[in-house]
Structure 1
Amino acid sequence: MTSTSHTDDGAPRRLPTATHWGNYEVVTDGDGGIDKLEPAPDDPHPSPIGRGVADAHRARNRILQPMVRRGWLEHGPRYDGGGRGAEPFVPVSWDEAGSLIAAELDRVRETYGNEAIYGGSYGWGSAGRFHHAQSQVHRFLNVLGGYTSSVGSYSAAAMEAVMPHVIGGGPWNAVAQNPLWREIADHGELVVSFGGLAAKNAQANSGGVGRHQSVDRQRQCRDNGVAFVNVSPWRSDAHEALDADWVPLRPNTDVPLMLALAHVLITEGLHDADFMARCCTGFEVFERYVLGRGDGVAKDPAWAAALTGVDPATIVGLARRIARHRTVINVSFSVQRQDHGEQPYWAATVLAALSGSMGRPGGGFAAALGVSQTGVERERHAVASLPQGHNAVETFIPVARLADMLLHPGEPFDYDGRRLRYPDVRLVYWAGGNPFHHHQDLNRLVRAWQRPETVICHEPWWNPLARHCDIVLPAATMLERNDFAAGKTDLTLAPMYRAAEPPGQSRTDYDAFSEIARKLGVEKEFTEGRTADEWVEELYERTRVRLAGTGVDLPPFADFWAAGRDPERSRSRGREDGHVLTPPLPDRPNRFQLLREDPHAHPLATPSGRIEVFSRTVAGFGYADCPGHPVWLEPREWRGDARRRHPFDLISPQPANRLHSQYDHGAHSRSGKIHEREPVTINRQDAAARGISDGDVVRVFNDRGACLAGAVLSDDIHRGVLALPTGAWYDPADTRAAGSLDKHGNPNVLTRDLGTSRLAQGPTSGTTLVDIERYDGDPLPVTAFDPPA
């Protein structure tokens, strides 16, 4: 396999590639560099995120050789040694860096055991099947005997933990049961979405997007007469073409609204009593709670109105619409990233079961419908991935409890019915992710990050993670290596060609791990004698053989690989870019449809075989913060608390101009900044009351931290709510001062680092109170994209 970025005469080339946010053609500049990325010609709605990739590749903050933090190099590894994020770096050779890492891995394993190594890889580093950073680092550490791992995700930890108890199956079974948009268009009448259906969240898909179809599918539903209701603090959480009814509510109050809707259905006799009796268990416990027969508090529309700010008549009207129409009750990932985030998913499932639409085509419950490409296709044929081997270490943490693990080694914690202890981690090895983007309460994380004796990472650019490491290896990017992509719920197999050589001394993660494995005497076990390009071909051929057994005929790898570089061969196969479309799997009824047809013949994988409105298992855990049925539990920080110190709810949605924090230093992401800072949206009336004008630099703050941002005034956001997207690279004004002002607008200097409950221990970024004021101080320059000393 070969791939070059330009012809022998130096003429520019066009080479296909794939990203999480779509397929593109990479246009080289004829001198071995990247000129631009142009969307694949058959993508009807390409993501503009690709515009910033070429610019980012030319950025001066590229890491070009191995670097070691000066304090670590001079004084060696130290527990709670400090200095990360503040000290300069010293360049070293690859041989020295590899020897330092190998020696440190050996020291930690021999002194403390493999449990003392945390394999920290979380994120969307590459759409490629082979150059998938998480697979690479975990395979490498498993070859060495294992590591402390993590479970769950920052995206959906509460859902992943609670829904197996409610409907059975694996952590993502709830998403797998979603109705498809075409089913809703044909059979549905109403989509009620808690947390909205923001079009920007359909830009990206794990493993890639062949063609962006989600918004068009939603429009087709609307054209067919399906009505949409956007239950969210932000009107823009639904595409304007949907003409959605907006039900603005206060953050953290989705559950009271769901309970009040259930109250109306039950008291007016509009609920599906037959489905509740045949296909659910524990309804009588939930009914008693909703009607207030135990605590004396009926969860009726008047009760919910006081919590949500939604008029009682609106609640009654919405409940009756749900009962009259074939309805999808959709819940975004965002509403479970809050205190007691398990409750919205559980309550929404019960509401869907009550509605009469559960288990009927085009209706029922949906999890994060519209996010990525969910709802476009149910699933795809399985594609081979890099084997990660066996992890001999059984210790794990819920992924969002990273700082707790580092700060409190040996302390007990609860998780999904188990009593566990945090390991004493001495070495963190990270590749493909940025914890200083996705973790909460970054000032607390910075303190926790000083605790390990050594932190190692692979990074292409000097992002906040690289700045807070001891040993940094320069990593090649997706445009500097060969691979192929296959998106989750996407039918495309897409080639990813090396369009440019890695600059300086950059290497792929695989080559870096292979070198360290050689020094540790386990190179053969890690590589199995294959080069990176041979592994790419191997994974494709494993996929081809696997699919051949299902009647799907993929071209041999040589033909697949050559077609993307040969326009004539691509066009002969009906494609312009060398991609291969695999056929969808046959349509099948989802689990809820089968359950409705015959609950005895098609039981769910729950203890009762039915939907667990009340779960004896969860009740048996004895968690006061997650009892055995859906309930309203007051958040530990919310506007309903008379003792609150800060008046605004902060929501931190996904950004429109990038995927998480990726390519924040690129031109497209930076084009959306205000005075080089992340925009924060505020209601016009709230802004006027504080003397804030459009475009002002503002200070957003609470007791955990503060950041600067650029004000955007809007009538489409609920009063008392601020929206500050995630992903601005963390940029403290003083790297040596605890709790220093972030100059760039990272909301996670403000968010809370507490678990959703003892069940899931997920992140609770959505339960955050702040204040805001116009910033009239010195215009602090943004230095997030400058290389360190």
Structure 2
Amino acid sequence: MPQANLSRRSFLRTSGALGALAGAGGAVAATDALFGSGVPCAHAAPDEKTVWGHCAINCPGRCPLRFHVVDDEVTWVESYATPDAGFEDPQPRACLRGRTYRRWMNGPDRVNYPMRRVGRRGEGRFERVSWDEALDAIASELRRIIDAYGNESVFLTYATGVSSTTARTLPRLMNCLGGYLAGYGDYSAMQMQRILPVVQGMTGFYGSTLNAAEEAELILAFGTSPVETRQGGAVSHYDWVRLREKAGARIIYIDPRLSDSAMGGAGEWLPINPGTDAALVSAIAHELVVGDLIDKEFLDAYCVGFDEDTMPPSARGQNRSYRDYLMGTGYDKVEKTPEWAAPITGVPAARIRELAREVGTAKPLFVVQGWGPQRRSNGEMNCWSITMLPLLTGQVGLPGTNHGGREGSFSIGLKSIPAGQNPVKASIPVFLYTDAIDHGTEMTALNAGVQGAPALTQNIKCILNYAGNCLTNQHGNINRAHDILADESKCELIVVWETAMTDSAKYADYLLPDLFRFEQRSLIGTGGDVAYLVAGEACTTPKFERKSLYECLTLLARRLGVEEAFTEGKTESEWIEQLYEETRAKDAGLPTYAEALARGVYLRENPRGRTIVHEAFRADPAANPLSTPSGKIEIYSETLAQIAAAWDLGPEDVIAPVPVYTPGFTETDVPTERLPLRCSGFHYRGRLHSSWGGIELLRQANPQELWINPADAEPRGIAAGDRVRVANDFGATELIAKVTPRVVPGTVCMAQGAWHDADMGGDRVDRGGCINTITTHRPSPLAKGNPQHSNICEVTKA
């Protein structure tokens, strides 16, 4: 028998084909198929086509994916690896998660048919129904609810499972029906989104691109780990790694955890207790003032409220400036010395003084923060305080600088399908949707951040949830969310569109099978220091009874009498082409639509090379004023002072007119004898939020672990690999212990997004390591946002 030539790549491709057949229900004996005749299947050389698609999960990488397809089945997935951009090609390659899509496509959790709930909400018991049965019932119930309670009773939940130019068509359908209760903000960065526009007059919150930091002398990175949070593509993961390699700057990582971004590169880890960044900054700022290291000329020309010289008339002569706060002449009469900050932050006073000298003398200084420091009960103040360091030293709007917020990016702005006008003017913070189910009519602009109206007139009675796991898994205090969602007298209809049986999908009254974006024509744009777009075709025909959201909503719109208004007579493919041509009409440098589809991936350099936030304002503040009331950066904010005076705030809700340190909420931030440990979340390589959480291969490669310092593990008798229980007043979850010095003593960390796995009719102990079993639902004071890094707990062996 002749010797068969079977390369490793050929073997993997062939194995992939067999896996696809097995996942689709095909019966095939792998041993016989490969070796039974003595000739590998790869030598059969079946007709193979390759199709471009893209990842569409809530990661800015939006990675290009190239699907290899045989007999209408995906056999293996690769990514972009062709340097044809005509410049230094960043090669936006997919991470290991994107390369496992075939397992998700054909996995046991895949939703294949329309289903109707037959058990209690949350049990996950369903029966298969036809599309006609499901859509007829949904249309009837939706119409009944609108007629009985009004359009304000229908809520479209926050969700990030799908992105593309035509992904968000639910708002369009609901606006054709008279509107819906909208949500504003998100679960990731709501505190930053709220505070930075108020004090720095920005339409968004992003700053300089990371390549601007190549010119910096010192880079301060607060709570950011791009190589974990944004793994794939050519966005901040790629840009950060390149920055570490190319920059001559010193990098200091300020974080409770020694992250993967800080590993394997030059730099210093400065461990800090979680939620205390504002205290550290206050002490550094104190030393900058004492050491005469501030840029007073910049502060006087470009800022309001550093000291009495630039205070607004309403606050003049009252010792309310930021300098007064620092020097102990302000409202609390406490001088913010390094000795004051050391026991709070865990950073020694001597190191704080050294760091102040480094900050005060570094030029340029690049200060950047991730979303971790602001995702706390005191998140707005934490975020705002970090931005003070570049302001005090005048390191804003110049080469090599940033404004202290998140790094920016350069992208191609593709048009999305228009949603139309929403006749319902009220909107709520997305994080408070369970409140709006439970007691929506008690929510006002002053106590719950309702926008567009003074108060809600109706509780939420219907939820339409597309491609999201925020009903429970990603929401605060899962046990509370369960109790509210399970009560059918409160929310009367929940419809979920999903690809997999997530924890949130178990709460659906009707669960409808969705297609991945690469299972249909799709178009998306993104970028970091370099922009790119991906144009893709369907990799296979739709399997089982899965439908695209657009097709499903078209059928639903027909039943509701608004099909023509919804579709305007166009298919989804026709919409995509029209939206692209509208974009290209304003950006002639883009390839034609046909060329984009043929090419698959198109890359573009930033014509300016790099983006520097506030550059125009720094060059000429009179000609380029900010959108703040003063037109300047506001270190003292009259807007925040007015909000604090007018809003109905609870105990320990701090909205201050200058950036101050506050420890947060006692019940979530202040350790006690009973709950002595802080617990903070982080993003994980094996998942993107909860996406890919059901992929067993990734769970094996990236087990869900609790990071615990040896100083905390030893007295509890915990060793590496032990199964432990993390518990507090909100709930309990179990996972494996990772005993490591890479987390500060007194703090434990667990990756967010693990799939919740609890008997909700029994002990409710989560065996999946889902952090939101132990998080609060009490929102941050100003943004009414997600504070899910603020937790106290105890850890014991399970």
Q: Give distance in 2, aligned partners of 1:121 and 1:348.
A: 28
Q: Deviations over 1:126-149 (max 9, x none)?
A: 3x322x1xx211111111111001
Report how many residues are paired: 714
Percent of paired sites with the same residue: 29
Q: Give distance in 1, aligned partners of 2:382 and 2:333.
A: 22
Q: Give distance in 2, aligned partners of 1:358 and 1:87.
A: 52
User: Conserved in 1, the CA contact under 8 Å of 2:775 and 2:788?
Assistant: yes
| Aligned twin of 2:104 | 56
| Aligned twin of 2:382 | 344
User: Partner of 1:164: helix, strand, or coil?
Assistant: helix
Which sits farther off after the overlay, 409-418 or 387-396? 409-418
Residue 543 (1) aligns with residue 580 (2): no
Give the letter aligned to residue 346 of structure 1.
W
| Aligned twin of 2:392 | 354
| Aligned twin of 1:433 | 468
Give the letter aligned to residue 510 of structure 2.
I
User: Conserved in 2, the CA contact under 8 Å of 1:275 and 1:596?
Assistant: no
Structure 1 residues 148-227: aligned runs within 5 Å: 148-170=181-203, 172=204, 174-175=205-206, 178-185=207-214, 187-203=215-231, 209=234, 213-220=238-245, 223-227=246-250
User: Conserved in 2, the CA contact under 8 Å of 1:379 and 1:585?
Assistant: no
Q: Give distance in 2, aligned partners of 1:51 and 1:589.
A: 32
Give the letter aligned to residue 760 of structure 2.
T
Q: Give distance in 2, aligned partners of 1:250 and 1:211.
A: 25
Structure 1 residues 62-81: aligned runs within 5 Å: 62-70=110-118
User: Conserved in 1, the CA contact under 8 Å of 2:66 and 2:80?
Assistant: no
The offset of 1:556, in angstroms, is 2.4
Structure 1 residues 602-641: aligned runs within 5 Å: 602-621=624-643, 622=645, 625-637=654-666, 641=670
Structure 2 counterpart of 1:143, from 176, 181, 206: 176
The offset of 1:656, in angstroms, is 1.0
Structure 1 residues 333-482: aligned runs within 5 Å: 333-369=371-407, 374=408, 378-413=409-444, 414=446, 420-421=455-456, 423-435=458-470, 436-450=472-486, 451-482=490-521
Give the letter aligned to residue 341 of structure 1.
G
Q: Give distance in 2, aligned partners of 1:84 and 1:140.
A: 26
Which sits farther off after the overlay, 616-625 or 242-251? 616-625
With over 3 angstroms needed to count, the CA separation of the structure-2 counterparts of 1:716 and 1:433, relative to structure 1, is same
Q: Give distance in 2, aligned partners of 1:639 and 1:557.
A: 52
Residue 232 (1) aligns with residue 255 (2): yes
Structure 1 residues 279-358: aligned runs within 5 Å: 279-284=302-307, 285-294=321-330, 295-325=332-362, 326-358=364-396
User: Conserved in 1, the CA contact under 8 Å of 2:55 and 2:65?
Assistant: no
| Aligned twin of 2:48 | 12
User: Partner of 1:154: helix, strand, or coil?
Assistant: coil
| Aligned twin of 2:708 | 682
User: Partner of 1:484: helix, strand, or coil?
Assistant: strand
The offset of 1:391, in angstroms, is 0.7
With over 3 angstroms needed to count, the CA separation of the structure-2 counterparts of 1:546 and 1:328, relative to structure 1, is same
Structure 1 counterpart of 2:122, from 85, 88, 104: 85
With over 3 angstroms needed to count, the CA separation of the structure-2 counterparts of 1:668 and 1:39, relative to structure 1, is farther
User: Partner of 1:461: helix, strand, or coil?
Assistant: coil
User: Partner of 1:367: helix, strand, or coil?
Assistant: coil
Q: Give distance in 2, aligned partners of 1:196 and 1:9.
A: 47
With over 3 angstroms needed to count, the CA separation of the structure-2 counterparts of 1:108 and 1:690, relative to structure 1, is same
User: Conserved in 2, the CA contact under 8 Å of 1:17 and 1:496?
Assistant: yes
Q: Give distance in 1, aligned partners of 2:110 and 2:669.
A: 47
With over 3 angstroms needed to count, the CA separation of the structure-2 counterparts of 1:160 and 1:52, relative to structure 1, is same
User: Conserved in 1, the CA contact under 8 Å of 2:279 and 2:345?
Assistant: yes
After TM superposition, the score normalised by the length of structure 1 is 0.86
Give the letter aligned to residue 215 of structure 1.
W
Q: Deviations over 1:390-448 (max 9, x none)?
A: 11101211011122111212113435697534741111111121112321111111112
Which sits farther off after the overlay, 249-258 or 401-410? 401-410
User: Partner of 1:680: helix, strand, or coil?
Assistant: strand
After TM superposition, the score normalised by the length of structure 2 is 0.85
Q: Deviations over 1:4-28 (max 9, x none)?
A: x99x995232222211445344444
| Aligned twin of 1:560 | 596
Q: Deviations over 1:305-337 (max 9, x none)?
A: 021111000001001000111211212111111
Q: Give distance in 1, aligned partners of 2:557 and 2:730.
A: 41
Residue 774 (1) aligns with residue 797 (2): yes
Residue 750 (1) aligns with residue 774 (2): yes
Give the letter aligned to residue 383 of structure 1.
L
Give the letter aligned to residue 218 of structure 1.
L
With over 3 angstroms needed to count, the CA separation of the structure-2 counterparts of 1:433 and 1:263, relative to structure 1, is same
With over 3 angstroms needed to count, the CA separation of the structure-2 counterparts of 1:705 and 1:546, relative to structure 1, is same
- In structure 1, runs of 5+ residues without a counterpart are 72-82, 565-577, 776-789
Aligned-residue RMSD, C-alpha? 2.4
Q: Give distance in 2, aligned partners of 1:32 and 1:417.
A: 49
Residue 660 (1) aligns with residue 693 (2): no
